[in-house]
Structure formats: structure tokens, C-alpha cells
A and B are shown apart, each in its own frame.
Chain A
Amino acid sequence: MTGEGSFAPTVAVTGLNATDNPGPGVGVIRCLRADPDFRGRVVGLAYDSLDPGIYAPDVADRVYLMPYPSEGHRAVWDRLAGVIDDARIDVVIPTLDAELPAFIELEKDLAHRGVHTFLPTREQFDLRSKTRLEDLGARCGVPVPRTRLATQPRELFQAAEELGLPIVVKGLFYGAMVCHSLDEAVASLHKTAAQWGLPVVVQQYVPGEEYDVSALGDGHGGMVGAVPMKKLFLTDKGKGWAGVTVGEPALLDVTERVLRGLRWRGPCEVEVVHSKKDGRFYLLEINPRFPAWIYLSAGAGQNLPAACARLALGEEIDHLPPCRVGTMFVRISLDQIASFRDFEDIMAHGRIVRDEGES
């Protein structure tokens, strides 16, 4: 736990799937370790025995295999309770969209067991849903693309008529396809529905430069910190493989308005497009967690995950210092030699303990 001059909690972090479409877990953990005062331990919570973050020995001190959130909150809690007993966790930072409802619901149970979180309420979580973007824009005073919902082609055609082509078809949780024709839109509707269910989100296409802002809200309408980034290189899945921090004040303004409007508590990623047509900055969506590129925040001098852990533990943090503009990241893909013993431990026992004898 924290003490004077030390910052030594045991922090559990999810999302160790550091693939070509990475989860944020490894980045969050690297941020914690980059905090010069951090003397704690890190526990990785993984969903797949081959999540690459499991096998990097300098990432997690311990790793536990978790049931998928789709198995239900009770299954998650049963496993989590065992992990808490085994690893004596002080803070948990969930990093994946799909698991957040479970962690939000379990917040009180976790607190009862001495595990701290810094998460939005269920109401805040629901308000930032893609399906309610227009309400959110009005509430926060930020422009948003016009948005409709569709469950069948007829509704899609109607939305396309109202919004005008091209349109963007988005899944409820993930994915976005720009469609220039109705044929393309129908194909996207079916593909998105098969992956992410119905309805799909149909959005006005706003051409322009896209930016992402990783931010941390204090839960009272304040912004603890925010790191705006422009992607310099995209993968074929549209994921940022390189990026640079930028200093455009309008990006911080949009983010501040969103955090204030939602009284957001915890991490988020705000996606914004600078319209080529009218020069305005449109809010595209809000992801309720840290992004995969979050290590940039530590590199840019504004360590948001470390601040999140401190806030969860009840420390007072007003504002972090501004991030350094022009800080760049380039993701690297490399083959990591993995310990076969680790593989055996996670497969056979569902856990890896690297800190035995240290605690």
C-alpha cells in the first residue's frame, strides 16, 4: 500500500493481448513501472494462455488466467476473489471495453475486499455509448456527426438518405467502415451485426484529420490529465502503429467538455476529427478505458495510469503537468523467446508466479 514517500501497491491490470491489435494492458503496466516512485507489484490478468504480455518477464510479477466476461459477472468474481486472496491486490485497472460492465458492477464487492478501482459509474458508462452520441454532444456542447441506428437494410437506407453518402457503419463495441454506396453499406451492416450484434451505428462521414486523446477524469467534472496524439502510421486494421503528441488546444477543449459533461471518473480515450469542410472538431466516440498507445503518456511526461492508480488509492491529484508536444512512439513487433515453464504454469495451473520469495 502507499506510504509516505513510497508508492508500493499491488496493481492488477487486464488486457495483456499485445497482438497486432493490442489491448492496453502492457502499455498500462509499462507506465506504472515508469513512475520513478513505483515500488509495487504488478499482476497481469489474462484471458488467453497465449496473450503475448504474459511471457514478457519484466511486465507482470504474476499472471492469472481469467474467464471471459461473456461467462458472466459471477464467473469473473469467483476467479477474481481467488486471485485477490492469492496475490493481495490493492488496485485493479481493467482495460478492455467488454469487461468494464462487470468491473463496474463488482466495484463494491472489490472495495469490500480492499481492492480499489477508479472507474466510471454505470450511468456514465452508458451515456458515452456510441448509440447516444448525439445526446452526448448536446449535453457537452461539442459537435458530433449525425448518428442513426439500424437493425435492418430498410433502416440503413433511410439513414443513408438522411445523412447522405458516404456513411460510416460502426459496431456497438468495435469497428468502423466508411461506405460510399448502399451496396457497401448493406454488406457492412451484415458483417458488423455478425461480429458485434445489433443494432449497428450509422454515422455521417466527416472527412478530416483524426486525433485521439487519452484522458483521466476525476469524477467531479475535472480533467486530471490529457494527452492528444496524431497517428502517423496505421495498420490494415486502422490501428495506430506510430504517433506523436500534439498541442492543438481545441482537442483539449473537446476532451475537457466531455469529461465535465459526463463527470467522468477514470480513464478514457476521446476520438476527434478535425473537419476539412468546416474546420470544426467533431467528437467521434469515447472509449471508456486507456488506449493501447498509453505508454506515450509516460513518455510525454504525463503518466496517466500511475495517476489513475494513485487516485484509486485515494491520493489527491489536481492536475498533471502538460504533456510534452512532439513526443513520438513507434510500435515494434518482435519475436519474444518465451519460457516453456511459464506456458506450462498458465496452461496447467492458470497462473504464473515470478515474485515467489519476494513478498
Chain B
Amino acid sequence: MTHGAWRLADLAISDSGFVFNPRTGDVFTVNETGRVILLMLKDGIGSGTIAESLRSRFEVFDEDVSRDVDEFLSVVREHGMCAENGEEP
């Protein structure tokens, strides 16, 4: 009776960045960048590709984008929305 790997696919993400985790009842808001990242995670896209996509989508040339994506992913993990291992995109 423990949680299985959290399924990002279950997350309900609105256009305004309001996010609802239907398993836990947790709600939170993310900015546009966070929303885009979560949508890509839901689609099973990996962190490297997400960073690339953000660079081109938001015309960011900073090399720190990859690090920022990784940080975001660790926050996502902390909130129990993807497993430490297994479901890692």
C-alpha cells in the first residue's frame, strides 16, 4: 500500500498554469515556462530535449537552461509527481 511511481500523465494542467494532481489533491501554479516543461514531461520528453526546446522557443541562449530544467525536475520530484527512478523522463 505505498504509492507507485507518480504518473505525470495524470496531472491536469490548465492554460493559466494551474496544476492539479488528481491522486494527491495537491494544487499549485507554475509560470509559462514551468507549464511548458510539465507538458513536455507529460509527453515523455527528456530533460535534454526540453532544454533545447526552451532555448529555441523562448530564444534563450544562456547555457544555464539545462541546469534550470534539472532544478525544476528536482522540484517536481520533491512534490511526488515523478519517481526518483523509473518514470524519470
Contacts and interface: CB of A to CB of B under 8 A. Distances in A.
A230 interface: yes
Contacts, number: 44
A321 interface: no
Contacts of B9: none
Contacts of A142: 1
Interface residues of A, number: 24
Main secondary structure of the interface of A (DSSP, over half): mixed
Interface stretch (A60-68, A128-136, A246-254): A246-254
B1 A254 contact: yes
A279 B20 contact: no
Max chain B Cβ within 10 angstroms of own Cβ: one of A211, A243, A247, A278: A247
B1 A250 contact: yes
Contact of A230 (B1, B2, B10, B24): B24
A325 interface: yes
Contacts of B12: 326
A104 interface: no
A232 B28 CA distance: 12
B80 to A, nearest CB: 9
B3 A244 contact: no
B14 to A, nearest CB: 11
A307 to B, nearest CB: 23
A280 B1 contact: yes
B2 A280 contact: yes
A183 interface: no
Contacts of A254: 1
Contacts of B20: 244, 326
Nearest to A244: B25
A326 B27 CA distance: 10
B22 interface: yes
A274 to B, nearest CB: 8
B23 interface: yes
B25 A279 contact: no
Nearest to A247: B22
Interface of B: 1-3, 10, 12, 20, 22-27
Interface of A: 142-143, 209, 211, 229-230, 232, 243-250, 253-254, 274, 278-281, 325-326
8 closest Cβ contacts across the A-B interface? A230-B25, A279-B2, A246-B25, A248-B23, A325-B22, A247-B22, A281-B1, A244-B25
10 contacts: A209-B24, A232-B25, A244-B25, A246-B22, A246-B24, A247-B10, A247-B23, A250-B2, A279-B3, A326-B20
